[in-house]
Amino acid sequence: MSNKIIRLPAVKEKTGLSRSSIYLRMTKNDFPKSISLGERAIGWLESDIEQWLDERISASKAASHE
């Protein structure tokens, strides 16, 4: 499994969420937590973001078939 770290602009592009939505969801434990890369830098594991997206897609498809 790859441990590629992606930064906020890439996370926003992949998810379609705004910065504030990402941080709000993180506080509600509804989005993968960021990883500290240094004093003033954070990122996310790309695999965590991909898994989160897959879960949203599956949940959406399940809801539309009810």
Q: Which of 32, 26, 29, 28 is nearest to 49 (CA)?
A: 32
Q: Is residue 1 pLDDT above 60, yes or no?
A: no
What pLDDT sits at residue 2? 64
Domains with residue ranges and CATH for the chain: 5-59 (1.10.238)
What pLDDT sits at residue 16? 97
Could you tell me the two tokens for 55? 């879960």
Instruction: Compute the distance between CA of residue 54 and CA of residue 19 in angstroms, rounded to an integer.
Output: 20
- For the stretch 21-66, pLDDT in tens is 999 999 999 999 999 999 999 999 999 999 999 999 999 988 877 6
First-to-last alpha carbon distance for the chain, in angstroms, is: 34
What pLDDT sits at residue 64? 78
Q: Is residue 13 pLDDT above 80, yes or no?
A: yes
What pLDDT sits at residue 65? 73
